[in-house]
Amino acid sequence: MRLLAIAIFSVFIFYVAEACKPAEPKPEKRILVFSLTKGYHHASIKEGNEFFTRLGIQHGFVADTTTNPALFTLDNLKKYRSVVWLSTTGDVLNAEQQAAFEKYIQHGGGYVGIHAASDTEYDWPWYGKLVGAYFVSHPAIQEAKIVNLDKSFPATAFLPDSFSHKDEFYDFKSVNTEALHFLLRVDEQSYQGGKMGSFHPMAWYHEYDGGRAFYSNFGHTPETFSDSLFAEHFWKGLEWTMHATKK
């Protein structure tokens, strides 16, 4: 009986010890916000980084902000649900870093391009298709009419059918029209200097090479990141890319 009591007590102690062990921490959801510029540097990058940091606090993920291209290795990128290219400009990654980012997307990663992300990596055709179009020109900052093209997608479902907004409206070239799902356009009749004609897209999304990509032209002005409509627009686009199937 004494041996049986000792055995029962030992089992009891084991289960108590197991129950008292600290729970294994859940893997943190993370995004990488990349804002290296090799051309024009947007003053609004500061507000953009602050915005994505706040967004993470609100929605339960960590936003790592960086201008360091050395973080573009496959092992490091695997940590992230999505990578935001925040008004990057110019040639920001070398060939090895480009290859790592391609593999990240091919393994089910997410991409968000904000504003000058389309003014980036003109000699990297894969990236051009990922972002969906390249910047070619823009007129002066001014107010214009924005038209909602798709109220079924989360990043535009809550926006009015049309509304006014002040920003820097890009003209684009090499638009990947066959693959992109267009969300917003700017009405060229409502401002001066547009060069794309009656159909002038401003935001879109698509699935690309195994991953998900969302692009929005908005964000030239710092005020955009404190505008409640655009805060939700950016968040819902990011959230959609974060739900890509990681392989």
Q: What does the pLDDT profile of the chain (247 residues) look like in tens digits? A: 554 444 454 544 444 444 444 433 345 799 999 999 999 999 999 999 999 999 999 999 999 999 999 999 999 999 999 999 999 999 999 999 999 999 999 999 999 999 999 999 999 999 999 999 999 999 999 999 999 999 999 999 999 999 999 999 999 999 988 899 999 999 999 999 999 999 999 999 999 999 999 999 999 999 999 999 999 999 999 999 998 665 5
Q: How many other C-beta atoms lie within 10 A of the C-beta of residue 43?
A: 10
In the chain, the percentage of residues whose pLDDT exceeds 70 is 87
pLDDT number for residue 11: 41
Q: What are the residue boundaries of the structural domains of the chain, listed by start?
A: 30-242
Total-model pTM: 0.89
Buried b / exposed e along 116-129 (16+ C-beta atoms within 10 A) = bbbbbbeebeebbb
Q: What's the chain's average pLDDT? A: 91
pLDDT number for residue 246: 59
The CATH code of the domain at 30-242 is: 3.40.50.880
Residue type, 199: F
Residue type, 70: A
Closest CA to 183 of 169, 204, 197: 204
